[in-house]
């Protein structure tokens, strides 16, 4: 009696054939279904609106509750709406919706896709860090140890309190022989500091400073700033008027800086997409966008949702950028390695 044998390759071929057959039947069914263009219109409209919001975010008015700045603060998260829209388009078997979903996908990738690639480089002359240590930090000693262990050359701290300053001075003394504190911000450095002064950001108290760091590759003007906080209130929306005014003053100070190499470290309470920071972002580069990988979200530390702690440069080439682990603050430390142009 003859026996039939099925080889592994035959079995694989049969499986592949069945899968191909199912796919052909699905596609043929879609082609025969003339309603695929009429279904899913609402899903398609939502996809188009989403694409327009991302692409034209700068035109969303701030007149009502600073809605434009609020949208720009969390702009990358709008990409999370794309997968559900794609799923709805597939479930509805709507060709119109599927085509429409391509639009927000393309816009998001154009805006943020570059952050998903690793642009970390090697080399560099100077490593810097900024960290909002939180005025309510219950373990400033531990935070100081974590900062010192990072090994970076220059550290900016924001939200310093009178009682916490001596703790940070003691904890960072061995790693950083030079430091200056102005109001609630401070700068610690492995290299000599000079020309330290407060920067008037129109608050009435001191939350910004600048100093010249005598780095091995040449002098660098380092600015430290903590712009006013913003709030989301039901009755007022995204309240950021004071932050916006201070950002303008900070931009003016940086524009008048005579030293070619400039580094800005600080909690700006705004993202690079936020138009309110244009006076600063128009003249400086973010290290996160130019080097490193990932979104680099820094706040809140327990579940980072936005990059509001910034390292920005002018006349300096970013090489790498990264965030560090939690320290007891509600912000993550942000660090970068840069190459001093011409050094």
Structural domains in the chain plus CATH codes:
33-116 (no CATH), 126-340 (3.60.10.10)
Nearest to 327 by CA among 164, 205, 211, 192: 164
The H or E element containing residue 141 is helix 140-149
Tell whether the model's pLDDT for residue 261 goes beyond 90.
Answer: yes
Residue 1's pLDDT is: 46
Cβ distance 265 to 250 under 8 Å?
no
As a whole number, mean pLDDT of residues 262-272 equals 96
Average pLDDT taken over every residue of the chain: 89
Structure tokens, 114: 């570059």
Closest-CA residue to 216 (of 261, 173, 164): 261
CA distance 238 to 67: 7
Pairing of strands 208-215, 262-267: unpaired
The predicted model gives 134-145 an average pLDDT of: 97
Give the pLDDT confidence score for residue 24 in this predicted structure: 64
- Cα separation, 170 vs 188, whole angstroms: 12
Least confident of 26-35, 137-146, 266-275, 297-306: 26-35
Instruction: Read off the pLDDT of each residue in 200-219 and give the average, rounded to a whole number.
Output: 95
Give the C-alpha separation, 92 to 95, whole Å: 9
Is 298 or 14 the better-scoring residue by pLDDT? 298
Please state the rounded mean pLDDT for residues 225-243. Answer: 71
Q: What pLDDT band is residue 162 in, cutting at 50, 70 and 90?
A: very high
Where is pLDDT greater, at 177 or 114? 177
Give Cβ neighbours of residue 185 (< 8 Å, ≥ 6 apart): 156, 157, 158, 160, 206, 207, 208, 209, 224, 225, 226, 266
Position 31 scores a pLDDT of 56
Classify residue 58 as exposed, middle or buried by CB count within 10 Å of its CB (0-12, 13-18, 19+). Answer: exposed
Q: What's the Cα-to-Cα distance from 228 to each of 24, 116, 144, 231, rounded to whole Å?
A: 59, 30, 24, 10
Residues 6 or more apart in contact with residue 166 via CB below 8 angstroms:
none
**Predicted pLDDT of residue 110:** 95
Going by pLDDT thresholds of 50, 70 and 90, the confidence category of residue 167 is: very high
């Amino acid at each position: 009696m003859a026996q039939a044998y099925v080889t592994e390759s035959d079995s694989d071929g049969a499986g592949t054939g069945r899968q191909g057959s199912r796919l052909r039947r699905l596609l043929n069914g879609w082609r025969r279904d003339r309603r695929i263009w009429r279904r899913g219109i609402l899903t398609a409209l939502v996809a188009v609106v989403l694409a327009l919001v991302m692409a034209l975010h700068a035109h969303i008015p701030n007149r009502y509750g600073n809605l434009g700045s609020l949208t720009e603060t969390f702009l990358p998260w709008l990409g999370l709406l794309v997968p559900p829209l794609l799923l709805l388009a597939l479930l509805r078997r709507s060709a119109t919706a599927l085509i429409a979903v391509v639009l927000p996908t393309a816009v998001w990738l154009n805006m943020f896709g570059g952050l998903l690639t690793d642009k970390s480089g090697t080399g560099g002359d100077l490593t810097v860090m900024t960290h909002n240590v939180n005025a309510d930090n219950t373990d400033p000693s531990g935070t100081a140890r974590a900062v010192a262990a990072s090994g970076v050359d220059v550290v900016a701290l924001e939200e310093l309190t009178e009682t916490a300053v001596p703790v940070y001075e003691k904890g960072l003394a061995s790693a950083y022989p030079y430091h200056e504190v102005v109001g609630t911000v401070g700068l610690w450095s492995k290299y000599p500091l000079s020309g330290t002064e407060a920067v008037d950001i129109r608050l009435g108290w001191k939350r910004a400073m600048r100093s010249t760091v005598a780095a091995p590759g040449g002098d660098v003007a380092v600015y430290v700033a903590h712009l006013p906080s913003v709030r989301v209130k039901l009755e007022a929306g995204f309240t950021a008027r004071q932050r916006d005014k201070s950002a303008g003053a900070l931009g003016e100070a940086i524009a008048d800086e005579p030293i070619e190499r400039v580094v800005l470290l600080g909690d700006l309470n705004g993202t690079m997409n936020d138009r309110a920071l244009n006076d600063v972002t128009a003249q400086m580069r973010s290290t996160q966008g130019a080097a490193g990988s990932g979104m680099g979200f820094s706040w809140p530390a327990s579940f980072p949702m936005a990059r509001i702690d910034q390292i920005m440069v002018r006349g300096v080439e970013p090489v790498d950028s990264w965030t560090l682990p939690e320290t007891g603050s509600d912000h993550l430390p942000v660090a970068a390695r840069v190459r001093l142009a011409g050094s």
